[in-house]
Amino acid sequence: EVARWRFQSITGVDPATLSPRPVAALDRNQQIQQQVLWERWTEFRVQQVTSFVETISGTLRRQRPGLVMSAAVFANPEHERLQRIQQDWGTWARASYLDWIVLMSYAADTSGFERLVQPWLVNESFGSALVIPGIRLLNLSNAATVDQMQASRDLPTPGYALFAAADLNAELNTMLAQTQASARNRGQLGPATPYAMAASRYAALQREWSWLLTQQRLWMDRNALEPWIGQVNDLGSEFDALAQEPSRRHLENVKAGLARVRTPLNQGVLVDTANSSYRLRSWQHRLTAIEQLLTHGESTQP
């Protein structure tokens, strides 16, 4: 009612009388005017919601510096989302009102899941905010859950969210616990900072590349291969240094090293696997996710 009153005080029109669809009783000019007013009403409500998010973000961060702000949002196409629920979360992310955006990308199968998340994860950029997909566990088989988790790992996103804890069954919980136990056995206690997360992600790529090289299933020109292996290993050391002692110098070294490692993967590399094109694409996506973590870390860490 407050938004309705404010809009009417600005335009002189009660938004309750507006409709997004043409009204047959109106002539052409009146229909055009009605459409223009409806768009203004939609824009007004979008701005009201965004202003609320901005105010809450600023207030809480002043009260608690370092607070991590997140929101669960709809993954619908932007025009549909703005028209129906006025949720302009892309602006919230790019303006750094939030640290994390969790997509409510709930789907019964992996194909539907990927259709929901790929437009946002592959085709868009959101500054220092991290955008991650959400997987709804309710009525989803463990096999489908694991498949969506794997799809997330191969997309340019730093992680995924499982919704909700109440739907986490014993079998899936055991599998996740074993995964964490494997990480602990490798000496990883669970990365707690963006830079440590980036280092952990890169170490996983290093292990994959190392295995493929050992099995002679990753090839590139001989003159390029040895320098590339050296660059891969040097970058691993730079990531460790950045995670342990964050600094501008270490960050710039990592960024430069990433560019050197990434370039050969765009051309002249062959992978002997059944899904080689998918594997190469997933490497690029995972490197993008690492870059996102670095950007986020740059905005939140010294």
| DSSP line for the chain | -HHHHHHHHHHS--GGG--SS--TTS-HHHHHHHHHHHHHHHHHHHHHHHHHHHHHHHHHHHHSTT---EEEEE-S-HHHHHHHH---HHHHHHTTS-SEEEEE---SSHHHHHHHHHHHHTT---TT-EEEEEEE-TT--HHHHHHHHHHHHTSSSS--EEE-GGG--HHHHHHHHHHHHHHHHTT-----SHHHHHHHHHHHHHHHHHHHHHTT-EEE-HHHHHHHHHHHHHHHHHHHHHHHS--HHHHHHHHHHHHHHHGGGGSSEEE-STTHHHHHHHHHHHHHHHHHHHHHHHHH--
What's the CA gap between 237 and 192, in Å, rounded? 19
User: In the predicted model, what is the mean pLDDT of residues 79-104?
Assistant: 97
- Could you read off the pLDDT of 205-247 as tens digits, one per residue? 999 999 999 999 999 998 999 999 999 999 999 999 999 999 9
Most confident range, picked from 115-119, 218-222, 268-272:
115-119
What's the CA gap between 239 and 227, in Å, rounded? 18
Both tokens assigned to 150: 């794997």
Contact 268, 220 (CB under 8 A): yes
Contact 232, 260 (CB under 8 A): no
Compute the C-alpha angle 55/56/62, nearest 5°: 90
What's the CA gap between 19 and 148, in Å, rounded? 39
Q: Binning pLDDT at 50, 70 and 90, where does residue 19 land?
A: confident
The whole-number pLDDT of residue 31 equals: 84
What's the CA gap between 287 and 155, in Å, rounded? 10
pTM for this entry:
0.89
Burial of 66 (0-12, 13-18, 19+ CB in 10 A): exposed
- Domain positions in the chain: 1-63, 68-189, 191-302
User: In the predicted model, what is the mean pLDDT of residues 20-47?
Assistant: 87
The whole-number pLDDT of residue 191 equals: 61
Residue 184: pLDDT above 60? no
φ, ψ dihedrals at 276, nearest 5°: -60, -40
Handedness of CA 26, 27, 28, 33 (dihedral sign): negative
- Could you read off the pLDDT of 48-74 as tens digits, one per residue? 999 999 999 999 999 999 899 999 999
The radius of gyration of the chain from alpha carbons, rounded to an integer in Å, stands at 24
Both tokens assigned to 285: 């996506």
- Could you read off the pLDDT of 128-182 as tens digits, one per residue? 999 999 999 999 999 999 999 999 999 999 999 999 999 999 999 998 888 765 5
% pLDDT > 90, the chain: 81
Q: Binning pLDDT at 50, 70 and 90, where does residue 185 land?
A: low
The whole-number pLDDT of residue 181 equals: 55
Which among 121, 93, 151 is positioned nearest to 299, based on CA atoms?
93
Contact 276, 147 (CB under 8 A): no
The whole-number pLDDT of residue 189 equals: 47
Mean of pLDDT over the chain: 92
- Greatest alpha-carbon span in the chain: 75
Of 211-225, 242-256, 266-280, which range is least confident?
266-280
Of 19-28, 45-54, 186-195, 247-256, which range is least confident?
186-195
Residue 298: pLDDT above 60? yes
Contact 199, 239 (CB under 8 A): yes
The whole-number pLDDT of residue 190 equals: 55
The whole-number pLDDT of residue 183 equals: 54
The whole-number pLDDT of residue 20 equals: 84
Q: Binning pLDDT at 50, 70 and 90, where does residue 27 land?
A: confident
First CA to last CA distance, the chain: 45
